[in-house]
């Protein structure tokens, strides 16, 4: 069953969003008096009773706490080069299903896609909606955040205090050699675009990041979206998918 979220903490009666009200009342055919599980913005899940509905928004009241907030072992952040067509949307959706904490879209040197400020804002809003829908569908207790589009230099500047894991086609060291070092704590998995990383981007990462490991995902050339999900799946497996 699709997860229901609120964007505020649950401390008393609250309103569902129009979209969730439509899903709960129309698609799932709930009625006033029914109970359902709702997760609030703090990650806690409550059993809630539908007390009223005007067709546009439903009012719910919490009955009992079903599940307390799950503490993470650290954030897994996917920083990915922008991809053409709907490939980046697919990466966002699958990353949300696998449990990533945040997705950061990166405008890299070899990106085919070039976004102006207006398009960046629209795309980020759409990606955030896709992440929310994926979280609801797979039953997560939180919604991964989609960061603003940044340059590669901006990514290094903003997240440089965290260890980076960079699958790179010119590297030979296998990913398995560094898995143990990222089983807990924060980690940024950085994936290049269709054209791969520019050499100067790798040089920048190695020069400025406190902890940076470039690794190989094997002898085969993977599409950017495949590399993103392959690396993320391996790391999430090592962390127990938490």
CATH value at residue 137: 3.40.1280.10
Predicted confidence (pLDDT) per residue in 8-21, tens digit: 999 999 999 998 99
Residue 69 pLDDT > 90: no
Residue 56, domain CATH? 2.40.240.20
Tokens 């079903």, located at residue: 66
Structural domain boundaries enclosing 38: 14-67
Say yes or no: 49 and 100 in one domain: no
User: Residue 1 pLDDT more than 80?
Assistant: no
Q: Check whether residue 61 and residue 80 sit in a common domain.
A: no
Task: Report if residue 6 sits inside a domain.
Answer: no
Could you tell me if residue 59 is inside a domain?
yes
What is the distance between the alpha carbons of residues 160 and 227, in angstroms, rounded to a whole number?
22
Q: What is the pLDDT of residue 66?
A: 92
pLDDT of 184 > 70? The answer is: yes
Last residue in a domain, options 6, 32, 67: 67
Does residue 125 share a domain with residue 218? Answer: yes
Q: What residue ranges in 82-227 does DSSP mark as E strands?
A: 102-107, 145-146, 150-151, 164-167, 187-191, 212-215
Q: Are residues 101 and 56 in the same domain?
A: no
Is the pLDDT confidence value at 229 over 70? yes
Q: Is residue 18 part of a domain?
A: yes
pLDDT reported for residue 161: 96
Q: What is the pTM of this model?
A: 0.90
Looking at residue 139, what is its pLDDT?
86
Residue finishing a domain among 67, 99, 129: 67
For the segment 101-113, the average pLDDT, to the nearest whole number, is 96
Strand runs labelled E in the chain: 14-15, 35-39, 45-53, 58-67, 76-81, 102-107, 145-146, 150-151, 164-167, 187-191, 212-215
Do 218 and 126 share a domain, yes or no? yes
Same-domain check for residues 99 and 44: no
- Do 220 and 115 share a structural domain? yes
Q: What is the mean pLDDT of residues 85-108?
A: 97
User: Does pLDDT of 73 surpass 90?
Assistant: no
- Strand 150-151 and strand 102-107: the pairing is parallel
When pLDDT is cut at 50, 70 and 90, the band that residue 55 belongs to is confident
Per the prediction, the chain carries an average pLDDT of 94
Regarding whether 34 and 123 lie in a shared domain, the answer is no
Residue 71 reports pLDDT greater than 90: no
In a shared domain, residues 23 and 84: no
pLDDT more than 70, % of the chain: 100
* In a shared domain, residues 30 and 133: no
How many domains in the chain? Answer: 2
Six-digit token pair at 79? Answer: 């920083």
């Amino acid at each position: 069953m699709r997860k229901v979220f609120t964007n505020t903490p649950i401390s008393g009666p609250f309103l569902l969003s129009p979209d969730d009200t439509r899903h709960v009342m129309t698609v799932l055919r709930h009625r006033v008096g029914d109970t359902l599980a709702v997760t609030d913005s703090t990650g806690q899940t409550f059993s809630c009773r539908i007390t009223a509905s005007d067709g546009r928004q439903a009012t719910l009241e919490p009955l009992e706490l079903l599940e307390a907030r799950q503490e993470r072992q650290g954030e897994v952040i996917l920083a990915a080069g922008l991809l053409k067509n709907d490939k980046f949307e697919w990466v966002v959706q699958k990353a949300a299903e696998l449990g990533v904490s945040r997705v950061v879209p990166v405008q890299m040197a070899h990106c085919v896609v070039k976004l102006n400020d207006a398009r960046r804002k629209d795309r980020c809003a759409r990606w955030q909606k896709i992440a929310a829908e994926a979280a609801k569908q797979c039953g997560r207790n939180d919604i991964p955040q989609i960061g603003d589009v940044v340059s590669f230099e901006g990514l290094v500047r903003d997240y440089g205090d965290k260890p980076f894991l960079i699958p790179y086609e010119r590297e030979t060291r296998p990913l398995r050699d560094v898995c143990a070092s990222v089983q807990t704590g924060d980690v940024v998995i950085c994936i290049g675009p269709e054209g791969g990383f520019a050499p100067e981007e790798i040089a920048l990462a190695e020069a400025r990041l406190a902890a940076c490991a470039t690794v190989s995902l094997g002898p085969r050339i993977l599409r950017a979206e495949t590399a993103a999900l392959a690396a993320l799946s391996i790391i999430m497996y090592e962390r127990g998918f938490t």
